[in-house]
Chains A and B, each alone.
Chain A
Amino acid sequence: MAEILAVRDLALGFHTETGQARVLDGVNLTVRPGEIVGLVGESGCGKTTLAGAILGTLPKSITWVSHGSVSLAGADMLAGNGAEEVRGRAVTFIPQDPFASFNPLFRIGTQVMDLMRWKSPRRRPGRRFYSLARRRADRDAVIAMLEAVQLPQPARLLQKYPHELSGGQRQRVMIALALLPEPRLVIADEPTTALDVTVQAQILGVLRRLAVERGVAVLFTTHDLGAAWEICDRIVVMYAGQTAEIAPREEFFTAPRHPYTRLLLRSLPEEGRHPVGIPGNVPSPLAPPPACRFHPRCPRATGICRSQRPVLGGASGHLYACHHPEEGLLDA
């Protein structure tokens, strides 16, 4: 099947006052149509930078791409104006903090209709005029979508200001906004970390159901492995800007191969055992360790890990970048 999103061997960084920060170092990632892919990693591993690269929103003046490519629905997101055409239509974004994404001075309805004016699937390219017929059709689509994300009384909700909505309601509106342009890919950047667990369960349920029903692919970045288990079909683990492991959901949680993935899963608190944690810290992108960036913290590291970068290999959809992959099931 053709991929909707393909990130190939992407390496990029930022020019900073203290030198060049090499944030992404050879990231590989594909998303197929209709698939929910989890992008998991600790803070500072480059998840948000990768999302920015895919959307083409990284600040151009300080970003430097050393190699690799990002192609989304056939458009090259790193060069020229490819990203402008695609962003907001073929790919949309759900932010972590839905409150910061609304203008507090305008009603929800005004902000939603502003989006529809430019990004509605009924808009013909190049047309600036917003006809009454299209406006009506767009409004009906908005109401239907707000109902689909299980917001009660959508017409009244459009009259409200952002502060009158609870966190869960705002995130539902955000999901509706992301799906209204009928995108092929939605990038959700930690959409539930700010929410309570019962609200998280509702939101994840809505997101998964709508994505499956409409055949929309979702790239779901999170540091919460429980949320990844809930919603994803496939999971990609990143460590310090490198892809560590890619595996289908079941296999990822039962038989991971990369030592980092195993340590991460063993760090989860669970009854009857004390979580182990991972000694050391995530390295600074200003001075990353050579070759495999995980080697200073890895219990299985040998000489080759310090001198040679492991390539992403494996079989039948389960890929890992490690010289000394672990075997067998994860002992819980």
Chain B
Amino acid sequence: MPDAALLETRGLKRHFAVRGLLNRRIGTLRALDGVDLAVEAGEVLGIVGESGCGKSTLGKTIMGIHQPTEGEVRFAGVRVAAPGHPRPKSLRARLQYVYQDPGASLDPSWTLRRSMHEPLVIHTDLSRGQREERIREIIAAVGLPVTHLDLYPHEISGGQQRRIGLARILCLGPRLVILDEPTSGLDVSVQAAVLALFRELRERFGLTYLFISHDLAVVRSMCDRVAVMYLGRVVEIAPAAELFAAPRHPYTRALLAAAPRIGGPRVTENFTLQGEPPDPSEIPAGCRFRGRCPLAAPVCAEEPALDFTGPHGAACWRWREAARLPSAASSS
């Protein structure tokens, strides 16, 4: 990857201790186990995978909520996180994290104006008047009337709270925003509006998104590139259109095959992937997907690295053979 990448992770690992009786360390949960990613300025990179695959840990480690166990995170060419490396304060405003419901972070006893001023007070030297001006601009951008600033969180709807939460994040002028499952639990009609808002804000403020989601349909409609994670590793990364049209890794193929396609055949009738992902504290040796993989062979006892052709990489020894097999995973 060229050094123009806005955000880069190199061999990023994050392990958690598993403790048993008397707080003795009895194992290691390898939530992230060597992730190399590069996010270009202006793109939307999707991270997909099932629960427990480490996608949220990745977001939190990049954000600095977790310290990496090994490896490093570079932001605009500068190292910002590594084991024992203090995190530059100036970074906080540049890199922002959006939880599932950004409205839930509003203080119920503060007016929305006070909540909006808070991040600017902490991170900038602007005068009160300048702050107010900036806030009004952002509030209009997220589609709320300025009069709402005098209200309390309980006086506005959940959707409006969500907009205020986003406005708070945007008023610092971040360059990269990590969206962690921003649409899970939403009805489709609301989800459509939220996605439209994300698109609009991205264009208006020139944002780069790291879009973490388990919803393949949402990722497909939203992202430029997609990385698929399985048990703490990226198993496939490709431009979104290519990944969905011609998936290479058997896990990606199974994941795509499992998603219901309205108008297509019922996938439940010939879905073959058995079992569930193993516990991340007991990761199998060699290729992590080996135990569930229909193509597993002796060569898989060694862990594969991402094998790139152009921008499309898959961590599988046998993807070239797999690509020739007719598969239920081929999505139209």
A: residues with CB less than 8 A from B are 42-43, 166, 168-169, 196-202, 204-205, 208, 223-227, 229-231, 253-254, 263-265, 267-271, 274-278, 281, 332
Q: Enumerate B172-197 residues with CB–CB distance to A below 8 Å.
A: 187-193, 195-196
Report B89 CB to chain A, min CB distance, Å.
37
**Inter-chain contacts of B222 with A (CB < 8 A):** 269
Contact B268 A268 (CB under 8 A): no
Count contacts between A and B, CB distance < 8 Å.
Answer: 117
Residue in contact with A168 in the complex, picked from B220, B271, B276, CB distance below 8 Å: B276
Residue in contact with B262 in the complex, picked from A198, A199, A229, CB distance below 8 Å: A229
Report B296 CB to chain A, min CB distance, Å.
17
**Inter-chain contacts of B92 with A (CB < 8 A):** none
| Given A253-B262, A253-B263, A269-B221, residue A166 in contact with residue B268 (CB < 8 A) | no
How many residues of B are counted as interface, with CB atoms below 8 angstroms from the partner's CB atoms? 40
B105 lies within 8 A of chain A by Cβ: no
Contact A269 B218 (CB under 8 A): yes
Contact A274 B196 (CB under 8 A): yes
**Inter-chain contacts of A332 with B (CB < 8 A):** 263
| Given A196-B214, A267-B192, residue A229 in contact with residue B220 (CB < 8 A) | no
| Given A197-B216, A198-B258, A226-B261, residue A267 in contact with residue B191 (CB < 8 A) | yes
Residue from the set A197, A254, A263, A281 with the largest chain B CB neighbour count within 10 Å:
A197
Report A162 CB to chain B, min CB distance, Å.
16
**Inter-chain contacts of A253 with B (CB < 8 A):** 262-263
Contact B192 A277 (CB under 8 A): yes
Interface of B is mostly: helix
16 further A-B pairs in the complex, CB-CB below 8 A; given A201-B267, A275-B221:
A42-B190, A43-B187, A197-B258, A198-B50, A201-B268, A202-B273, A229-B262, A230-B260, A230-B266, A263-B189, A264-B188, A269-B217, A269-B222, A275-B188, A275-B195, A275-B196
Identify the closest chain B residue to A203 (Cβ): B268
Identify the closest chain B residue to A250 (Cβ): B263
Contact B187 A200 (CB under 8 A): no
C-alpha spacing A231/B271, complex, angstroms: 13
Contact B187 A198 (CB under 8 A): no
**Inter-chain contacts of B50 with A (CB < 8 A):** 196-199
- A-facing mask of B214-254, CB < 8 A → 1, else 0? 10111011100000000000000000010010000000001
| Given A168-B276, A208-B268, A270-B221, residue A226 in contact with residue B192 (CB < 8 A) | no
Identify the closest chain A residue to B241 (Cβ): A271
Residue from the set A169, A201, A229, A254 with the largest chain B CB neighbour count within 10 Å:
A201
| Given A205-B268, A208-B268, A267-B191, residue A274 in contact with residue B51 (CB < 8 A) | no
Contact A271 B221 (CB under 8 A): yes
Identify the closest chain B residue to A206 (Cβ): B268
**Inter-chain contacts of A281 with B (CB < 8 A):** 157, 159
Interface of A is mostly: helix
**Inter-chain contacts of A197 with B (CB < 8 A):** 50, 214, 216, 255, 258-259
Report A49 CB to chain B, min CB distance, Å.
17
Report B7 CB to chain A, min CB distance, Å.
25
Q: Which 9 A-B pairs have the closest CB atoms?
A: A277-B192, A226-B260, A205-B268, A275-B192, A278-B189, A269-B221, A201-B258, A196-B50, A42-B187
**Inter-chain contacts of B276 with A (CB < 8 A):** 166, 168-169, 196, 198-199
Contact A196 B260 (CB under 8 A): no
**Inter-chain contacts of B258 with A (CB < 8 A):** 197-198, 200-201
B199 lies within 8 A of chain A by Cβ: yes
**Inter-chain contacts of B192 with A (CB < 8 A):** 267, 269, 274-278
**Inter-chain contacts of B261 with A (CB < 8 A):** 226, 229
Contact B189 A230 (CB under 8 A): no
**Inter-chain contacts of B268 with A (CB < 8 A):** 201, 204-205, 208, 230-231
B269 lies within 8 A of chain A by Cβ: yes
**Inter-chain contacts of A274 with B (CB < 8 A):** 192, 195-196, 199, 221
Contact B189 A42 (CB under 8 A): yes
Contact B190 A277 (CB under 8 A): yes
Report B200 CB to chain A, min CB distance, Å.
11
**Inter-chain contacts of A169 with B (CB < 8 A):** 276
27 contacts between A and B (CB under 8 A): A198-B254, A198-B258, A199-B276, A201-B257, A208-B268, A224-B260, A226-B217, A226-B262, A229-B261, A265-B262, A267-B189, A267-B192, A269-B191, A269-B192, A269-B195, A269-B217, A270-B217, A270-B220, A270-B221, A271-B221, A271-B241, A274-B199, A275-B188, A275-B196, A275-B221, A277-B190, A277-B193
**Inter-chain contacts of A269 with B (CB < 8 A):** 191-192, 195, 217-218, 220-222
Report B299 CB to chain A, min CB distance, Å.
24
Identify the closest chain B residue to A229 (Cβ): B262
- A-facing mask of B43-71, CB < 8 A → 1, else 0? 00000001100000000000000000000
| Given A198-B50, A199-B276, A225-B262, residue A271 in contact with residue B188 (CB < 8 A) | no
- A-facing mask of B270-286, CB < 8 A → 1, else 0? 01011010000000000
Contact B267 A268 (CB under 8 A): no
C-alpha spacing A196/B259, complex, angstroms: 10
Identify the closest chain B residue to A273 (Cβ): B221
